[in-house]
Amino acid sequence: MSDAPSDLHAPHFIGIGGAGMSGLAKILALRGAEVSGSDAKESATVTALRAAGARVSVGHAAEHVPPAASCIVVSSAIRQDNPELAEARRRGLPVIHRADALAALMTGRRAIAVAGTHGKTTTTSMLAVALSGLGLDPSYAIGGDLDEPGSNAHHGTGEIFVAEADESDRSFHKYAPEVAIVLNVELDHHANYASIEEIHESFEAFVDRITPGGTLVVSADHPGARELTARVAGRPGLRVVTVGESADATLRVLSVTARGMSSEVVVELDGAPLAFTVSVPGRHYAHNAVAALAAGTALGVNARELAAALGKYTGVRRRLQLKGAARGVQVIDSYAHHPTEIAADLEAIRENAAGGRVLVVFQPHLFSRTQQLGTEMGQALSLADAALVLDIYPAREDPIPGVTSEVIIEAAHRHGLAATAVHSMAEVPEAVAALAREGDLVLTMGAGDVTALGPEILTRLGGVEAGA
């Protein structure tokens, strides 16, 4: 007997291997739905979905849509001429956006939706790990894997549902959370937002979706978040909890102290200091943990127990993930692709470089983002000691005339960074081997397929000494 929402009892996912789509497919399969889907290629995520009971085809073709499919689930990345989408329309099947499917799954649960331009995946993951560690067995849907492929989602028996809320296509307007987190508000996703004012209006609409009597947890430090707080101040039925180092923060961060690859955080809670460990490096991750603490506390979870449980979080795949070490060189993978994220991860790594150099292999993500923020990307990369810059990863976009990685490289040069263009992924391991020396840290950085280079770099350096 399936307890999936009505139209979702036999869903077919186009692009089922994607970070957001795969999580929903897994939860529905665990709820008893007859899940099918297609993806462009085989992957560890596809293998994990099959293990959960989903039927997955490789490639996109009309015949991949099962006769008994009850609906088609798509994300904004699916093109209108996709043959499976055309087949669904021919058969009159409902076409459901990924966000509507997630909203249906959250119905009847106490939902925490985590939003912001940066830090969503990490903060959602922190909550999932900590609440699970306390025995609350939450359901969760995350935009990245915790430790192994397929670990980005869980169908729990508890009343809490933690979800990453994506602002990129305004789909987070679909949710009605009891608690919403807004970590920061910046201009990004230039294909969908023409101005920072449009971004602010979108986040305001998200806040308006919080259920009456619910809570907004929002940064007290980030200028865009403070602007959002001012815009929503005084709304009836909304409790606002600000978090950060600012003197006026509701939950104030008193200190963040680096301890190797972790941090000790001290917050002021009910007039007294509360110290806990965050087992990943970087001030921005410490602030993510404090936002998670505030959100869990808003649902009635004991703050001191939750703080201790947050210390058990050791990271998510691709968020400063140690891939291994060889010849005295550590190789770390970073998903950072926006200038703010790039700078934050490089600052965090710099704190732990112990005198070694920080070398970056950077792959820009999207032509539109590079067109708008390429100069800022180059400036952010200048926090490294050297960078190899790959060609732009297009994802769903077509090229924009005149927009190449040279925009980033030229900006990096203006800020004193030795940045070099590399046009072939195959050339990177040799280039890194020629550049790196004992004690250095190498970051593979970007939201595209640059993540695949870590193991190849380690092999070229001469074998893996330690891995993650």
Per-residue pLDDT reduced to its tens digit, 359-373? 999 999 999 989 989
Domain assignment of residue 466, yes or no: no
Residue 100 lies in a domain: no
Residue 86: give its domain's CATH number.
3.40.50.720
Residue 144 belongs to a domain: yes
In a domain, 102, yes or no: no
In a domain, 467, yes or no: no
Among the residue ranges 117-131, 141-155, 207-221, 326-340, the one predicted with the least confidence is: 141-155
User: What's the domain count of the chain?
Assistant: 3
Residues 87 and 130 both lie in one domain: no
- The pTM of this model reads 0.74
pLDDT in tens, 59-81: 999 999 999 999 999 988 888 89
Q: Who has greater pLDDT, 262 or 353?
A: 262
Domain boundary residue, one of 95, 119, 153: 95
> Which carries the bigger pLDDT value, residue 140 or residue 316?
140
Regarding whether 145 and 196 lie in a shared domain, the answer is: yes
Whole domain around residue 125: which residue ranges?
108-310
pLDDT for residue 407: 94
Are 277 and 130 members of one domain? yes
Is residue 459 flagged as an active site residue?
Answer: no
Active site residue 323: no
Q: What is the mean pLDDT of residues 270-286?
A: 89
Same domain? For 301 and 207 the reply is yes
User: Based on the domain organization, do 248 and 341 belong to the same domain?
Assistant: no
Categorize the per-residue pLDDT at 313 as very low, low, confident or very high, splitting at 50, 70 and 90: confident
CB 391 within 8 A of CB 408: no
Q: Are residues 82 and 126 in the same domain?
A: no
Provide the pLDDT confidence category of residue 351 given band limits of 50, 70 and 90.
confident
Q: For the ranges 125-134, 139-148, 171-180, which has the lowest average pLDDT?
A: 139-148
Catalytic residue among 164, 167, 178, 341: 164
pLDDT score, position 181: 98
Are both 75 and 176 inside the same structural domain? no
Same domain, 234 and 295: yes
106-110, 129-133, 191-195, 413-417: least confidently modelled range: 191-195
- Asked whether residue 176 falls in the same domain as residue 76, the answer is no
Share of the chain above pLDDT 90, in %: 71
pLDDT at residue 405 in the model: 95
Choose, from 121, 123, 297, 444, the residue flagged as catalytic.
121
Asked whether residue 242 falls in the same domain as residue 164, the answer is yes
| Shared-domain flag, residues 425 and 306 | no
Same domain, 149 and 67: no
Question: Among the three residues 95, 126, 151, which one is the final residue of a domain in this structure?
Answer: 95
Residue from 34, 84, 117, 120 carrying the catalytic annotation: 120
